[in-house]
Amino acid sequence: MLDNKHGLSLKDPSLLTGSAYFNGARYKGDKVFAVLNPATGEELAQVANMGVAELSAAIDAAHAAQKPWAARTGKDRGAVLRRWHDLILANVEDLAIILTAEMGKPLAEAKGEIAYGAAYIEWFAEEAKRVYGDTIPGHMPDKRIIVLKQPVGVVGAITPWNFPNAMLARKIAPALAAGCTMVARPSELTPLSALALGVLAERAGIPAGVLNIVPGLDAAGMGAELCANPKVAKISFTGSTRVGKILMRQGAETIKKLSLELGGNAPFIVFDDADIDAAVEGAMVAKFRNNGQTCVCANRIYVQSGVYDAFAEKLAARVAAMSVGNGLTDPVQVGPLINTAALAKVEDHIADAVANGATVATGGARHELGGTFFHPTVLTGMKPEMKISREETFGPVAPIYRFETEEEAIALANASEFGLAGYFYARDLSRVWRVAEALETGMVGVNTGLISTEVAPFGGVKQSGLGREGSHYGLDDYLEIKYMCLSV
Ligand SMILES: NC(=O)c1ccc[n+]([C@@H]2O[C@H](COP(=O)([O-])OP(=O)(O)OC[C@H]3O[C@@H](n4cnc5c(N)ncnc54)[C@H](O)[C@@H]3O)[C@@H](O)[C@H]2O)c1
Ligand SMILES: O=C[C@H](O)CS(=O)(=O)O
């Protein structure tokens, strides 16, 4: 698809914009940065390099817009969100092309992400009408107790590059449904998807100042401003645990509310009573979705001794058959890694494992396409002391560890400071309950490798984050509880 704007074949070229959007207006300025296509290295667009001054202006706009936005009924806010949802789905082809071009995931996965992000908007368009309070029997005859739920106020959002549409939609939707306003700073690697969402938000009738999207290279400075500015009530962050800790420290000064969706290191356990073919299919999804660049990806695969060889052989065969290429031009399963740093981490994890006795069952090397393309890889003979056991690979490497007993598998799975997702395959019902309850994760997939949905509470424990996104729980993170004591 190489015609019209920036070499992309878009039905609506106005969706590809490099201008920041805040206070209902677009800003480009003379300071810009380039966004590159990771599959080709070509420049896609030049994007406004906004800084702390522009971010502060956007925060002022969000603050001024918040009370009028909250004063509208939940039903009215929901109707605006619904219009935005409908516009996103009506433009799914263009949004997916922009997403694949800047992030690299195959077009089919990009379309899936757009639909997934829109599902959060649809969900919270409905939830906007259900911000319920309580009445509590008074503690004295002349007292009446009412519990109100009110929006927290201005929300600062910072999002990652791996799901540049859905990770932002999953924050904007509950925030605006609750009556909050938002200033969002997308990843400098993939700002175009966020800016396209802004174009459609304006068309949907989201008022000026309610949603503000401010790209910029100064991630640390802009994050510090969001954390320090007293007009910002809450930080909603999705990204690495490393940055999450920085934001927690910076937000402490003004007691910022926090939603943190951080790093993972998901265990994927296959017991000897599992359906092995189903487990292989589950591992393919849990490991290789988005080329392994997903927070809930299986990072460690533990297989019980009796089925180890059969599982490893089947998985290696499926992985070896995966097609690799430019997700924009070819119907491939695996695109490029986002950048050379990601490629270096994948190679480092493989080299460390092999140096400590692991075997490459398939893959293990850069792809002939060059750039950041890499052969999907399966490693066997893995040991807990290897780097890949304790670090999030965030790439297409499936390390398979052998275990003997259920107790050993649970101990191995829980030996991590992370606790986002975990998966296991087993058919014994008592085992299913024992293992699901024992895993120290926020989410557990049982006989499935795909758990992400807007109807369920997404989030982690330990150092994988705070709070939940999606489901009816997801609105709570954007609401304050107020208790009213009425003398009658
Ligand atoms: N739990 C989840 O829902 C979830 C979802 C997607 C990604 N992630 C995690 O995100 C990571 C991959 O994404 P990434 O590479 O974009 O993460 P990252 O933490 O490097 O960057 C995330 C965002 O923070 C910004 N940032 C970087 N340094 C900052 C600072 N000092 N202050 C403020 N902002 C700063 C980045 O520019 C980016 O916009 C992985 O660890 C992955 O597990 C988690
Ligand atoms: O990278 C993790 C995101 O949360 C993606 S998903 O929600 O699992 O699809």
Q: Is 216 in the pocket of ligand 1 (CB under 6 A)?
A: no
pLDDT tens profile 172-224: 999 999 999 999 999 999 999 999 999 999 999 999 999 999 999 999 999 99
Residue 170 Cα: closest atom of ligand 2: 7
Burial 155-178 (b: 16+ CB within 10 A, else e): bbbbbbbbbbbbbbbbbbbbbbbb
Look at phi and psi of residue 381 and say left if phi exceeds 0, alpha if psi is from -120 to 50, else beta. Answer: left
* Percent of residues, the chain, with pLDDT higher than 90: 98
Q: How many whole angstroms from 250 Cα to the centroid of ligand 2?
A: 25
Do the interacting molecules here have an ipTM over 0.95?
Answer: yes
DSSP letters for 7-52: G---SSGGG----EEETTEEE--S-EEEEE-TTT--EEEEEE---H
User: Are the C-beta atoms of residues 426 and 325 closer than 8 Å to each other?
Assistant: no
Span 235-266, pLDDT tens digits: 999 999 999 999 999 999 999 999 999 999 99
Residue 366: strand, helix, or coil: strand
13-262+464-487 homologous superfamily: Aldehyde Dehydrogenase; Chain A, domain 1 (3.40.605.10)
pLDDT above 70: residue 400: yes
What is the average pLDDT score of the chain?
Answer: 97
Quick one: pLDDT band at residue 270, thresholds 50, 70, 90? very high
* pLDDT of residue 5 exceeding 70: no
Nearest CA to ligand 2 atom 2: 295
Nearest to residue 443, comparing CAs of 294, 253, 244?
Answer: 294
Candidate from 240, 390, 391 with most ligand 1 atoms within 8 A of CB, to mutate: 240
What's the pLDDT at 6?
A: 62
- Across the range 69-98, mean pLDDT stands at 98
SS3 475: coil
pLDDT digits (tens, 9 = 90+) for 26-47: 999 899 999 999 999 999 999 9
CB of 294 shorter than 6 A to ligand 2: yes
Nearest atom in ligand 2 to the alpha carbon of residue 116 is 9
> Tokens for 168?
């932002």
- Quick check: do 13-262+464-487 and 266-446 share a fold? no
H helical segments located in 205-325: 219-228, 241-252, 276-288, 305-320
The verdict on the CB of residue 420 being under 6 Å from ligand 2 is no
Cβ–ligand 2 contact at 296 (below 6 Å): yes
Span 142-156, average pLDDT: 98
pLDDT of 407 higher than 70: yes
Å from CA of 424 to ligand 2 middle = 18
Testing ligand 2's pocket by substitution, the residue of 288, 296, 299 carrying the most ligand atoms inside 8 A of its CB is 296
Please state the rounded mean pLDDT for residues 278-307.
Answer: 98
- Supply the DSSP symbol for 332: -
Choosing from 452, 455, 458, 464 the residue with most ligand 2 atoms within 8 A of its CB, the one to mutate for a pocket test is 452
Alpha carbon distances (Å) from 318 to 140, 283, 357: 69, 10, 23
CB-facing half-sphere around the CA of 241: CA atoms within 13 A: 18
Q: Does residue 295's CB lie within 6 angstroms of at least one atom of ligand 2?
A: yes
Task: For the chain, give every domain's residue range.
Answer: 13-262+464-487, 266-446
Q: Are 167 and 238 in contact (CB under 8 A)?
A: yes
CA–centroid distance, residue 53 to ligand 2 (Å): 32
pLDDT of residue 329: 86
Average pLDDT over residues 321-338: 95
DSSP-derived secondary structure letter, 290: G
Residue 261 appears among annotated catalytic residues: yes
Distance 419 CA to ligand 2 centre (A): 14
**440 Cα–ligand 2 center, Å:** 19
Residue 1 has pLDDT above 50, yes or no: no
* Residue 160 alpha carbon, nearest atom of ligand 2: 1
Q: Is the CB of 160 under 6 A from ligand 1?
A: yes
Q: What is the CATH number of domain 266-446?
A: 3.40.309.10
Contacts of 10 (CB under 8 A, 6+ apart): 4, 16, 94, 97, 98
Predicted pLDDT of residue 126: 98
Nearest CA to ligand 1 atom 38: 187
Mean per-residue pLDDT, 305-324: 98
> How big is the CA angle at 290 (ends 287 and 296), to the nearest 5 degrees?
50
- 194 CB under 6 A from ligand 1? no
Helices 107-127 and 92-103, packing angle to 10 deg: 120
**Per-residue model confidence (pLDDT) at position 2:** 34
